[in-house]
Amino acid sequence: MRWRTNRRSSNVEDRRGMRTAGMRGLGGGDGGILRLLPVAIRFLGIKGTMIAVVAILAFGFFTGNLQQILGGGSFETTQQETPSKTVSQSAEEKELVEFVSVVLADTEETWHEIFQQSGNTYQEPRLVLYRGAVQSGCGFGSAQMGPFYCPADQKVYIDLGFYDDLAKRHNAPGDFAQAYVLAHEVGHHVQTLTGISQQVQKAKQGVNKTDANRLSVMQELQADCFAGVWAHHADKSRQLLEAGDIEEGLAAASAIGDDRLQKQAKGYVTPDSFTHGSSEQRVRWFKIGLKKGTFKGCDTFSVMN
């Protein structure tokens, strides 16, 4: 990709120097530690149990969680992020930060233009870089989840280590493969701004798991199509793409299809459990977006019904 001289986005939030810690509440609405006393006595004895109870109650008093410990709350995980030292990064990671900032800026160009054509204003998302774990508006996130978009705070979250996994584990290397992943998550932001995500969530209520999964697949394939729309405009308007880039994007789309991931993990495939689409579907819808370059061309919901 021809990206080095292009504009960097101002919407990058670097949390790689933050430490995220989690703590699970000890209480519950069904008796808190009181319901655990018989088990504790059995294994710790009366004396050991009393020492443990005193310690837990003291902890609850000083942390403000006493009511939950005694049974007035519910089991709940909270996360807290604290500043750490200045980010230490390799030259390769530093360049990758520059790269994703350029890709994000280019998606902003594309979607501003498309929204303006329909008389609307595009609200730019923020990109959060983190390491290991992160607190988002949608709750706790981890690197194991891969890149994700949170509609509650309208931010895209990514641990840059995912790209190494994409290249080595999924055999999908290349800068355009990395750009496709980011453009896909921005596609989810577009779905939020246009009300599509909200409609999908509403439609999922009251339907069985198979039908809910099918709706998720439609939503994910549309985000793939939107990634293709971005690639179309990036190439046509700004000549960002080079020879071989499209092949890299198609390889990435194929590598993370539900069928391939299930086959790798379990040795067999269960289509009813798909939530993102098969490799063939993901490649096909990315190519549709790339060819048509329009929002309307990505109506996966009508085509797949």
Q: Which tens digits make up the pLDDT trace of 35-49?
A: 444 444 444 555 555
Q: Which tens digits make up the pLDDT trace of 265-290?
A: 889 889 899 999 999 999 999 999 99
- Structural domain contains residue 7: no
Look at residues 54, 75, 96 and tell me which one is the last residue of a structural domain.
Answer: 75
Number of structural domains found in the chain: 2
- Structural domain contains residue 82: no
120 and 179 together in one domain? yes
Distance of alpha carbon 275 from alpha carbon 288, whole angstroms: 20
- The C-alpha angle 188, 288, 175, rounded to 5 degrees, equals 65
269 and 200 together in one domain? yes
Q: Which tens digits make up the pLDDT trace of 168-180?
A: 988 888 999 999 9
Structure tokens at 185: 């998550």
281 and 217 together in one domain? yes
Say what the pLDDT of residue 178 is: 94
- Structural domain contains residue 216: yes
- Structural domain contains residue 282: yes
Mean pLDDT of 217-224: 96
Q: For the chain, where are the E strands, in sequence order?
A: 12-14, 18-24, 77-83, 126-129, 133-136, 139-142, 148-150, 155-158
Q: Which tens digits make up the pLDDT trace of 288-304?
A: 999 999 999 999 998 76
The secondary structure of 168-197 as a DSSP string is: HTS---SHHHHHHHHHHHHHHHHHHHTTHH
Residue that the structure tokens 């453009």 belong to: 183
- Structural domain contains residue 184: yes
- Structural domain contains residue 35: yes
pLDDT at 57 exceeding the cut of 70: no
Say what the pLDDT of residue 76 is: 40
- Structural domain contains residue 270: yes
33 and 100 together in one domain? no
pLDDT band at 256 (very low <50, low <70, confident <90, very high): confident
Single out the residue of 114, 105, 186, 100 nearest to residue 150, CA to CA.
Answer: 186
Q: Output b/e per residue, 33-62; b: 16+ Cβ within 10 A.
A: beebeeebeeeeeeeebeeebeebeeebee
117 and 184 together in one domain? yes
112 and 35 together in one domain? no
183 and 234 together in one domain? yes
135 and 259 together in one domain? yes
Say what the pLDDT of residue 209 is: 94
Please provide the average confidence, as pLDDT, over all residues in the chain. 83
147 and 227 together in one domain? yes
List the domain range (segments joined by +) for residue 203.
Answer: 12-17+88-304
- Structural domain contains residue 286: yes
71 and 109 together in one domain? no
Residues counted in the chain? 305
143 and 57 together in one domain? no
35 and 172 together in one domain? no
